[in-house]
Amino acid sequence: MDIAIREMEPVFAPEDFPPVAADLCQRLLDKDPTTRLGARGGAEEIMAHPWFASVDWDDVRTDKMAPPFVPARGDVNAAPQNEIGTFNNDDKAFRDVIWNEQDEKLFQDWDWTNPEAMTKEILNFLMYERELGRPLLPGSMHHHSIMCCCKFL
């Protein structure tokens, strides 16, 4: 799998992918993170891609328009906000692990992120924004006694 990711290029068959869709996918899957779509302009750069030309992002943000795609509830394994960063009851053995300096040194250059955990966290954050009815921006504030990386508009 890793070799495929590093060395193979995805193929987007024209009968399955209109040219604008293939361009979006190719640019999002660019192996060079400095030239990948969104590297320079973040989400705004991605949202400006011609594939999304019919999407009014302001209307999506304010729930005046449905997002271009919403996965079926059964397809998304999204934990409630209060479960992010916690372990399931089946994982009780891991709660007693003590993190020490040796562990810190061992993992200091580790930049891998569990994609399933990251996806869950992103989905929960987006659902929380939807509940609030407004997007959150980077910053710091205390909210419900929890330090948050975002501030309200």
**d(Cα 124, Cα 118) in Å, to the nearest integer?**
10
Rounded to 10 degrees, the C-alpha dihedral 65/68/73/77 comes to -120
Q: Measured between alpha carbons, how far is 139 from 151 in angstroms, rounded to an integer?
A: 5
- Are 10 and 26 a contacting pair, CB within 8 Å? yes
C-alpha 29/C-alpha 44 separation (Å) is 17
Q: Per-residue pLDDT for the chain (153 aa), expressed as one digit of tens each?
A: 567 777 788 888 999 899 999 999 999 999 889 999 999 999 999 999 999 999 998 888 888 888 877 766 665 555 555 555 554 555 555 566 777 888 888 888 887 778 888 888 888 888 888 888 888 776 544 444 344 455 444
The overall pTM is greater than 0.75: no
Domain spans of the chain? Answer: 1-70, 72-153
